[in-house]
């Protein structure tokens, strides 16, 4: 069997990479296609990727497992996951629209989870969107098993400004500090924003991270409420 270096020298490697890219693009560039047609398109692309990602092509991908240049897993200290599990998660990740490197996805309990970096990447690809997420001060429980934090999400899309405060619960472990709490909350806030804008529902980022952010009364709604109250007082006889 040819090695990766031999494949690169013969140009076969580049040809397969292009076919991989084409399969992914066929899904990502067809947002308007829905229903059975989309299911067939995704199934076809997933089948092509599974066939193209042979052991030789998976070898350099497997070398990325366990570090932030590639992707982290919950089994990094135990040798990581098998080629088949990594391949399946990799296919899911790229068809969701993130990159196969740069810690855009993690593998946890054998499943694909988009990270803070991955969701941030998806947000950057949304047209006419600018946003900012400002964390409050984390409120950590005395036993340090959980925390809560208010994240202020501000965004402008198609020149319309909006704001929302999110009360986000975060499960903790003994190794987590304030920065880690803010990092997890940022991921949840980014996910909330992406889901809100696109109407999608990205899976949570960790086995224990299935707590839904509590939407605090939006700043825009509050302003409208105050304005209406003030107007009512003016109009009173």
Domain boundary among 114, 147, 165: 114
**Which of 61, 79, 114 lies at the terminal end of a domain, its last residue?**
114
Q: Which residue is associated with the tokens 């897993």?
A: 73
Which residue is listed with tokens 């984390």? 138
Same domain, 137 and 196: yes
Q: Do 10 and 103 belong together in one domain?
A: yes
The verdict on 62 and 95 lying in the same domain is yes
152 with 220, same domain: the answer is yes
Instruction: Please state, in angstroms and rounded to a whole number, the distance separating the CA atoms of residues 217 and 192.
Output: 15
Q: Domain total for the chain?
A: 2
Which pLDDT tens digit goes with each residue over 190-222?
999 999 999 888 876 554 454 556 777 655 555
d(CA 168, CA 185): 6
Tokens matching residue 189 = 């806030």
Enclosing domain of residue 60: 4-114
148 and 164 in contact (C-beta within 8 Å)?
no
The mean pLDDT value of the chain amounts to: 85
Task: Write down the pLDDT at residue 220.
Answer: 53
Other beta carbons less than 10 A from residue 79's beta carbon: 10
Inside any domain, residue 236: no
Same domain, 51 and 77: yes
Q: Is residue 12 predicted with pLDDT exceeding 80? A: no
Judge whether 204 lies within some domain: yes
What's the pLDDT at 74?
92
Q: Which pLDDT tens digit goes with each residue over 136-145?
A: 999 999 888 8
The reply to whether 212 falls in a domain is: yes
> Are residues 109 and 127 located together in one domain of the fold?
no
The predicted pLDDT at position 211 comes to 54
Q: What is the pLDDT of residues 104-160, one digit of tens each?
A: 999 999 999 999 999 999 999 999 999 999 999 999 998 888 999 999 999 999 999
Domain membership of residue 233 (yes or no) is: no
Last residue of a domain, one of 87, 114, 141: 114
Residue 53: inside a domain, yes or no? yes
Contact between 41 and 30 (Cβ < 8 Å):
yes
pLDDT value at 88 more than 70 = yes
Whether 138 and 107 map to the same domain: the answer is: no
């Amino acid at each position: 069997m040819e090695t990766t270096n031999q494949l690169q020298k013969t140009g076969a490697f580049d040809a397969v990479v292009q076919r991989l890219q084409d399969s992914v693009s066929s899904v990502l560039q067809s947002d308007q296609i829905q229903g059975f047609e989309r299911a067939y398109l995704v199934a076809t692309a997933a089948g092509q990727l599974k066939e193209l990602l042979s052991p030789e092509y998976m070898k350099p991908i497997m070398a990325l497992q366990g570090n932030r240049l590639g992707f982290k897993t919950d089994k990094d200290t135990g040798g990581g996951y098998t080629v088949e599990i990594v391949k399946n998660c990799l296919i899911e990740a790229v068809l969701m629209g993130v990159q196969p490197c740069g810690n855009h996805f993690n593998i946890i309990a054998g499943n694909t989870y988009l990270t803070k970096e991955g969701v941030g990447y998806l947000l950057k690809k949304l047209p006419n969107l600018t946003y900012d997420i400002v964390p409050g001060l984390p409120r950590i429980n005395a036993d340090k098993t959980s925390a809560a934090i208010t994240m202020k999400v501000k965004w402008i899309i198609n020149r319309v400004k909006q704001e929302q405060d999110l009360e986000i619960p975060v499960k903790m472990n003994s190794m987590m500090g304030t920065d880690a709490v803010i990092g997890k909350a940022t991921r949840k806030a980014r996910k909330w924003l992406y889901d809100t804008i696109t109407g999608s529902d990205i899976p949570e980022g960790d086995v224990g991270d299935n707590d839904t952010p509590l939407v605090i009364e939006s700043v825009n709604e509050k302003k409208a409420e105050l304005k209406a109250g003030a107007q009512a007082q003016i109009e009173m006889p």
